[in-house]
A and B are shown apart, each in its own frame.
Chain A
Amino acid sequence: MESLSFEEAFTRLEAAAAALQDGQIPLERALHFYEEGMKLAQHCNELLQKAELRVQQLTRDDADVPVVQSFELE
């Protein structure tokens, strides 16, 4: 789960909530979805909290091919 991107984690979180809506799934599965959903929500929140905007600069290299370099504001 730690390696999931925000989008992936959020999609799975929504899926867990949807799965729980089905009253027919076995209790063990339901509890599994619940626990997973809560962990995913936590993961999503953490990702949002520690997210840092990455900024790069686009130029052309000697062969005229577009390349990205790191960029720092002056």
Chain B
Amino acid sequence: MLSPFTANTPQMLSVSQLSRYLKEVLETDDILQDVWVLGEISDCKTYPSGHCYFTLKDGEAQLLCVFFKRARLRSSALELHNGMAVAANGRISFYERDGKLQLYVESVEPLGAGALFVRFEQLKALLAAEGLFDAERKRPLPPQPAVIGIVTSPQAAALRDMLRVLQTRYPLARVILSPTLVQGAEAPAAIAAALDLLNEHGEADVIILGRGGGSLEELWAFNEEIVARAIARSRIPIVSGIGHEVDFTIADFVADHRASTPTAAATAAVPNIADWHADILAIQRTLTERIQNRLADLHADLERAQHDLERASPQYQLDRHQQQLDDMTARLQTRMQHILSLHGERLRGTALRLHSLSPLLTIARGYAVVRRESDHTVVTSVQQTKPGDDLTIQVSDGNLYTTVRS
């Protein structure tokens, strides 16, 4: 072996020398030259050259992997993508130029649901059993939060997005940023500490826990138990907005309100002052309407009072008496007219009856009235005449003149 080390002479090495040595050590180890590694794929990139680079992770550690085109073609490997749990076979070596220890992959076998996914499900089941996701635990968000706590990275675009939404929708608020890392090994503890800090400070009325979109690994901090516990013990209601619409983290399940993105979380946390402009306008209208109604009522009252006053005046009494007098005169006249017409009726009736009794009617039916010429006495018996008397016989249309013969 070409070891630069000897038992008792400490040696100074150049980086290249050390790198070459490392490479040799690795490449002469039988185990490392044909090894199967279990892990989850992330940061997977395939270049136009056909070479594929990815990282294998298992939550505690990670390993860089290179899958060259010829190996891929030889192994007829499946399409690799992030989050995939696989067993990768290959050899370990050291890439001197970049100082990287890498797995040079020969073949890849899928392992079904990813290991991270298994951890996710286990923690989810544990916290669900403890009741941390129960609907009864969810607190309502304050309708008008004066102070809004934000737990996120101060450098992230997510913070900018959230502040923009808050400025537009609810600029009356004060924002207190409790900065934290949002990815990496230290992120879970940092997020929990940032939540606790806001609670200790105590001024925030609501907390937005936000992080922009990213890979499963980048969002992983929000699936850690320490974060879930910090959300659960927060005395201040929490809105989560982590990743994109499709991403669901443990933090989302524990939060009082889950929004799909940081922007949506900021939207959910505050009312919209645009609605308030409308409310204020509506109240102004109500005010005007009510004062106008009030004035109209008073005006009506005034008119009524004026009317009452007029009725009480002497002139009104005089007018009223005059009217009564006129009424009575008119009634008297009507009554008089009635009586007169009644008498007229009675007179006509009597005249008719008189007519029906007239002897002229009897004559018309063929009877005659005989009168003595000398004294116009009506002759009703032969005893009243003697021969030679002149008689007048009245019939319907004239008189006959005759002389009694016997």
Contacts and interface: CB of A to CB of B under 8 A. Distances in A.
Interface string A6-48: 1100100110110011010001001101100110010011011
Contact of B177 (A31, A33, A58): A58
Given A44-B280, A68-B201, A73-B160, A30 B291 contact: yes
Given A56-B176, A68-B201, A48 B287 contact: no
A48 B197 contact: no
A31 B174 contact: no
A37 B284 contact: yes
A2 interface: no
Given A6-B172, A58-B176, A20 B154 contact: no
B399 interface: no
Interface in B149-208: 149, 154-155, 159-160, 163, 166-167, 170-179, 197-198, 200-201, 203
B403 interface: no
A14 B282 CA distance: 11
B171 A53 contact: yes
B283 A14 contact: yes
Contact of A57 (B154, B291, B294): B154
B283 A41 contact: yes
A4 B298 CA distance: 33
A13 B279 CA distance: 11
A23 B291 CA distance: 10
B275 to A, nearest CB: 11
A55 B298 contact: no
A56 B201 contact: no
A55 B149 CA distance: 10
B144 interface: yes
B277 interface: yes
B286 A17 contact: yes
A20 B160 contact: no
B174 A20 contact: no
Nearest to A30: B294
A21 B276 contact: no
A48 B294 contact: no
B294 A51 contact: no
Contacts of B170: 53
A56 B203 CA distance: 12
A53 B176 contact: no
Contacts of A45: 277, 280
B177 A71 contact: yes
Contacts of A59: 179
A58 B166 contact: no
Contacts of B332: none
A46 B196 CA distance: 37
Given A41-B280, A48-B273, A54 B163 contact: no
Contacts of B233: none
Among A7, A21, A37, A53, chain B packs the most CB atoms within 10 A around the CB of A53
B172 A51 contact: yes
Interface string A61-74: 00000101001011
A51 B173 CA distance: 9
B280 A66 contact: no
A1 B175 CA distance: 25
A17 B283 CA distance: 7
Contacts of A34: 287-288, 290-291
B294 A53 contact: no
A53 B287 contact: no
B163 A37 contact: no
A30 B178 CA distance: 49
Contact of A17 (B146, B179, B290): B290
A23 B176 contact: no
Contact of A66 (B154, B160, B166, B200): B200
Given A34-B291, A37-B287, A53-B163, 11 more contacts: A7-B144, A17-B283, A20-B286, A20-B291, A38-B284, A41-B287, A45-B280, A47-B172, A53-B175, A55-B163, A58-B198
Interface of A: 6-7, 10, 13-14, 16-17, 20-21, 23, 27, 30-31, 33-34, 37-38, 41, 44-45, 47-48, 51-60, 66, 68, 71, 73-74
22 contacts: A7-B146, A13-B280, A13-B283, A14-B283, A27-B294, A27-B298, A33-B287, A37-B284, A48-B276, A48-B277, A51-B171, A52-B167, A53-B171, A54-B173, A55-B174, A55-B175, A56-B175, A58-B178, A58-B198, A66-B197, A71-B154, A74-B154
